[in-house]
Amino acid sequence: MKIGTTAAIYAAAGLMATGAFAQSADTAAELAELRERVAELERTNDVPNRPQLGFNLGENTSIELYGFIRAEAFFDFDFAQGDLSRAGRVGNAAFATDGEFDTSVRVSRFGIRSTTATGIGDIKTQLEFDLFGSGGDDSSSPNLRLRHANVNINDTVLVGQTWTNFMPLVHYPTTADFNGPVGVTFARVPQARYTYNNGNGLALSTSIEEANGGGSDPVFTGAAFYGTDNWSVRGAVLAGEFDGPAGESFDTNGITLSGSVSPWAGGTISATYVTGQALGNLLIGGGARSVGGEENDVDGFTVQVLQKIGEKWTVGLAYGNESYDLATTNTVGEGATATSNAFTDLESIHLSAFYRPVDNLTLALEYIHIDSEDETTGFSADADRIGASITFSF
């Protein structure tokens, strides 16, 4: 069943649930109330220009089903990266190729949101999955993986798994590639978060989070955001401890700064910068948090320019960089046949084109270039990749 908007479904559900009302055309007050409810739903729809499927479970609770189906195809010219860009593989002979074609549907996802009106404000829940569970890059029968599972009370207190508060999600680069450029933080973790929003563009948040990738100690974050219609800025800090492979204790800390601006019609420039100790577990490149008993310091940044062309086309160019003090070594296999690569610096370029013939259908074509370098040895390698995808959102 296809329904264009949540508002339309709510209206239909209201009419079906009150058959007597449908027959009482002389009840003008009730009709006026229904029209106002539909208008309010249209005003508060948080995902414009996309069809949604929702259910009204009574006077106080509504549920929305959402997600998308994506089919992708890739061609790697130098190093096989699987169904998303993996900068850490570039330079490892185990993944070297003269050309490899691959397809995937694993980015596809679905979720359920609910909203319940209460005396302390709206209580919202989210449960979302994709297909990146165990099964390997080339699995034709991928498994479910949990992305989000959380409860949000009045947009103030959130408990459960969602994006880390350290991550500048609002300024995350827009790419067809699931990972996107290196140099930006990316993680979903269990947490307890408090957010203050003054209603005039300022939001402050703090959280206690489970360390991404596991660990016996939590990390603590704080963030501040301010935005207008044409520009926005965000800053975040993180601090905590983690145990190394030999049981030693390490510190992890960092700062993220990000922002975006729309300086001309249809154009957006966004940028992020991150610096700190032992942050590789939060970065796209995935550098080691510690090497040889030392915390691995890192600096990373991304910048992207997006431009809308007419009503249906958008093009973008994104650049990313990660620079570590200590080299990360990736080993594949064991014994005499094992292969490895090491890197201190990663760079990536994403050149993207998106075409939307209708609001909920997106076709994308993307070129990706990745450079990997180990400054301690002088080794370097690069890789080129082309991807195409079609996405239908619901």
| Per-residue pLDDT at 18 exceeds 90 | no
Measured distance CA(188)–CA(59) in Å, rounded: 33
Tokens of 86: 């993996």
Residue 50 pLDDT level (bands cut at 50, 70, 90): low
| Cα 156 to the center of its chain, rounded Å | 21
| Per-residue pLDDT at 24 exceeds 60 | no
pLDDT digits (tens, 9 = 90+) for 291-348: 999 999 999 999 999 999 999 999 999 999 999 999 999 999 998 899 999 999 999 9
Q: Are 251 and 277 in contact (CB under 8 A)?
A: yes
Please state the rounded mean pLDDT for residues 180-206.
Answer: 96
Residue 59 pLDDT level (bands cut at 50, 70, 90): confident
Tell me the CA distances in angstroms from 7 to 326, 375, 393, one per residue in order. 54, 57, 17
Tokens 């309010």 belong to: 40
H/E/C letters for each residue in the chain?
CCCCCHHHHHHHHHHHHCHHHHCCCCCHHHHHHHHHHHHHHHHHCCCCCCCCEEEECCCCEEEEEEEEEEEEEEEECCECCCCCCCHHHCCCHHHECCCEEEEECCCCEEEEEEEEEECCEEEEEEEEEECCCCCCCCCCCCCCEEEEEEEEECCCEEEEEEECCCCCHHHCCCCCCCCCCCCCECCEEEEEEEEEECCCCEEEEEEEEECCCCCCCEEEEEEEEEECCCEEEEEEEEEEEEECCCCCEEEEEEEEEEEEECCCCCEEEEEEEEEEECCHHHECCCCCCEECCEECEEEEEEEEEEEEECCCEEEEEEEEEEEEEEEEEEEECCHHHCEEEEEEEEEEEEEEEEEEEECCEEEEEEEEEEEEEECCCCEEEEEEEEEEEEEEEC
| Cα 224 to the center of its chain, rounded Å | 19
Give percent of the chain with pLDDT exceeding 90. Answer: 77
Please state the rounded mean pLDDT for residues 108-124.
Answer: 96
Please report the pLDDT score of residue 248 as a whole number.
85
Q: Compare 173 and 38 and report the one with higher pLDDT.
A: 173
| Cα 292 to the center of its chain, rounded Å | 32
Q: What is the mean pLDDT of the chain?
A: 87
Tell me the CA distances in angstroms from 74 to 104, 145, 284, 288, 357, one per residue in order. 9, 22, 19, 28, 22
Q: What are phi and psi for residue 21, nearest 5 degrees? A: -60, -40
Tell me the CA distances in angstroms from 151 to 59, 157, 195, 348, one per residue in order. 20, 8, 13, 36
Q: Single out the residue of 104, 65, 62, 59 nearest to residue 81, CA to CA.
A: 104
Q: Single out the residue of 314, 324, 316, 263 nearest to residue 87, CA to CA.
A: 324
| Per-residue pLDDT at 219 exceeds 90 | yes
Q: Compare 357 and 25 and report the one with higher pLDDT.
A: 357
Tokens of 276: 């700190």
| Per-residue pLDDT at 284 exceeds 80 | yes
Please state the rounded mean pLDDT for residues 132-161.
Answer: 88
Q: Which domains does the chain have, with CATH numbers?
A: 67-105+168-393 (2.40.160.10)
pLDDT digits (tens, 9 = 90+) for 336-350: 899 999 999 999 999
Please report the pLDDT score of residue 137 as a whole number.
62
Q: 297-309 and 267-277 as β-strands: parallel, antiparallel, unpaired?
A: antiparallel
Measured distance CA(127)–CA(149) in Å, rounded: 5
Please state the rounded mean pLDDT for residues 363-374.
Answer: 98
Measured distance CA(203)–CA(124) in Å, rounded: 19
Q: 53-56 and 267-277 as β-strands: parallel, antiparallel, unpaired?
A: unpaired
Please state the rounded mean pLDDT for residues 358-374.
Answer: 97
